[in-house]
Amino acid sequence: MEILDVFMSCTINDTSIIIPQNRMIIQMMESMFVGDIFEGIKMMHIGDSASFLVRADSTFYTLLRSPMPSEFSVNDIMKFNIRLNDFYPE
């Protein structure tokens, strides 16, 4: 698995900031389901930026491994904005 150097932010319904824009070092994971965020990141090249729209409920349960906060509903959409700065093989 690669280590990724990214700028990332995340909002729900374009109003609630879940992750403010920050530079992060994250570990690439195997896709957990078809169409998840890691499947999209695998298609990126250094310097690429992309926005990923995903369902809030499945993202909290699978990616964040936590229950969805009560202020959000199963129909809410999370938007991840990611810029791939670099990656490093493990």
pLDDT at 1: 64
- pTM, whole model, 2 decimals? 0.84
Report d(CA 87, CA 12) in Å as an integer.
27
Mean pLDDT, residues 63-87 taken together: 90
Residue 39 pLDDT greater than 70, yes or no: yes
Half-sphere exposure of 55 (CA within 13 A, CB side): 10
Measured in residues, the chain has a length of: 90
Residues 4 and 26: beta-carbon distance below 8 Å = yes
- The two beta strands, 16-27 and 49-55, are unpaired
- The two beta strands, 49-55 and 3-12, are unpaired
Q: What is the pLDDT of residues 43-72, one digit of tens each?
A: 999 999 999 998 888 888 887 788 888 889
